């Protein structure tokens, strides 16, 4: 079968590797023929050369493996050892091996769910990040009537803005160095701020500080300090995503003196939140037409990752068509 594999930082090559089969499945797993994938911000450090303990390499720190790095996937079940997935089912969710850039993969069935198959696979892949955002917002206190800020208005940050607004936030501030005025009204942003997070946080008066700040950038430690500076007394900060650094230093005294709550966490109950994401998308169908802004073929995956590293106005989620 074909697979895309990192041959060097920033370089993919197409390789032929043995295809997994039904006999390779453990209980609870499914065999998927991939139909689409999407680039997550957590994939980008690996594309640039950061090591990752890939499951197929028994915990060794590697930077390349067939199909790696991609975990957002849509596929067709071609064999199953999971009671809720049958041959022929179309599913969306997590590629548990982070290896979705391949023709056929094995994945855990609990991280997959069915979806409305009237939606193209290259669009339906958005249900996985939407599920992550819905789960994260569920961990926050009630946001009804509050001012909230989302630092980072990339694909994840825009979903946070939309979900927080739909959950009753009074005023949603979206902060990004990329001009997102073209997306603000679509994703529920009341105030689009085109600036670095530190300049925005430093400009706030006490009366302007949001009660909730979401850190949706995730690739440096400095934005945590910006969140601490920006948030109102007694407020909440949610750090989203996989940290690039093992240790994030921040001002503990600010956390204490401002009586803040810091939250984070990985998405669990994945099938449940994928189903919730499908219901959310059905309620807000306008997102289907705008969220995936760019679709690349699997043969052009290197160009897709290069585009994802350099976000531009009008670019949101980047999807890969593997059909």
pLDDT at 53: 63
Pairing, β 212-215 against β 147-151: parallel
pLDDT at 323: 83
The strand ranges marked E within 26-167 are: 29-38, 52-53, 61-62, 72-80, 90-94, 104-108, 112-114, 147-151
pLDDT beyond 80 at 146: yes
pLDDT beyond 70 at 254: yes
The model's pLDDT over 47-72, given as tens digits with 9 standing for 90+, comes to 998 877 656 555 566 667 899 999 99
User: Minimal CA–CA distance to 295: which of 40, 11, 36?
Assistant: 36
Percent pLDDT > 70 in the chain is 97
pLDDT beyond 90 at 143: yes
The model's pLDDT over 275-298, given as tens digits with 9 standing for 90+, comes to 999 999 999 999 999 999 999 999
Are the C-beta atoms of 319 and 308 separated by less than 8 Å?
A: no
Residue for token digits 């910006």?
A: 226
pTM score of the predicted model: 0.95
Cα separation, 126 vs 266, in Å, equals 18
Domains and CATH numbers, the chain: 2-126+291-321 (3.90.180.10), 130-263 (3.40.50.720)
pLDDT at 61: 62
Bridge partners, 53 (sequence order) = 61
pLDDT beyond 70 at 127: yes
Pairing, β 29-38 against β 104-108: antiparallel
Task: For residue 125, give Cα distances in angstroms to 130, 207, 245.
Answer: 9, 40, 27
Are the C-beta atoms of 213 and 231 separated by less than 8 Å?
A: yes
* Average pLDDT of the residues in 293-314: 96
């Amino acid at each position: 079968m074909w697979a895309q594999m990192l041959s060097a930082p920033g370089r993919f090559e197409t390789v032929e590797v043995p295809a997994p089969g039904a006999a390779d499945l453990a209980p609870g797993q499914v065999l998927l023929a991939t139909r689409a994938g999407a680039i997550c911000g957590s994939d980008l450090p690996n594309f640039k050369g950061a090591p990752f303990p890939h499951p197929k390499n028994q915990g060794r720190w590697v930077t390349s493996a067939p199909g790696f790095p991609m975990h957002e996937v849509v596929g067709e079940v071609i064999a199953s050892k999971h009671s809720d997935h049958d041959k022929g089912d179309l599913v969306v969710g997590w590629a548990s091996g982070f290896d979705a850039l391949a023709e056929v993969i094995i994945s855990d069935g609990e991280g997959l769910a069915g979806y409305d198959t009237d939606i193209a696979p290259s669009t339906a892949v958005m249900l996985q990040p939407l599920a992550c955002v819905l789960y994260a917002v569920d961990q926050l206190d009630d946001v009804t009537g509050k001012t909230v800020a989302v630092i980072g208005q990339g694909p994840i940050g825009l979903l946070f803005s939309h979900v927080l607004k739909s959950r009753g936030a009074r005023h949603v501030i979206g902060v990004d160095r990329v001009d997102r005025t073209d997306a603000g009204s679509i994703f529920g942003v009341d105030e689009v701020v085109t600036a670095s997070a530190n300049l925005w946080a430093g400009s706030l008066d006490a009366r302007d500080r949001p009660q909730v700040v979401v850190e949706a950038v995730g690739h440096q430690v400095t934005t945590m300090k910006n969140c601490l500076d920006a948030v109102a007394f007694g407020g909440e900060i949610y750090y989203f995503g996989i940290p690039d650094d093992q240790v994030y230093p921040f001002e503990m005294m600010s956390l204490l003196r401002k009586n803040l709550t810091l939250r984070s966490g990985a998405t669990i109950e994945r099938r449940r939140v994928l189903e919730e994401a499908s219901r959310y998308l059905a309620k807000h169908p306008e997102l289907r037409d705008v969220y995936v802004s760019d679709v690349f073929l699997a043969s052009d995956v290197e160009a897709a990752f290069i585009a994802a590293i350099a976000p531009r106005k009008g670019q949101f989620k980047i999807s890969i068509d593997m059909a």
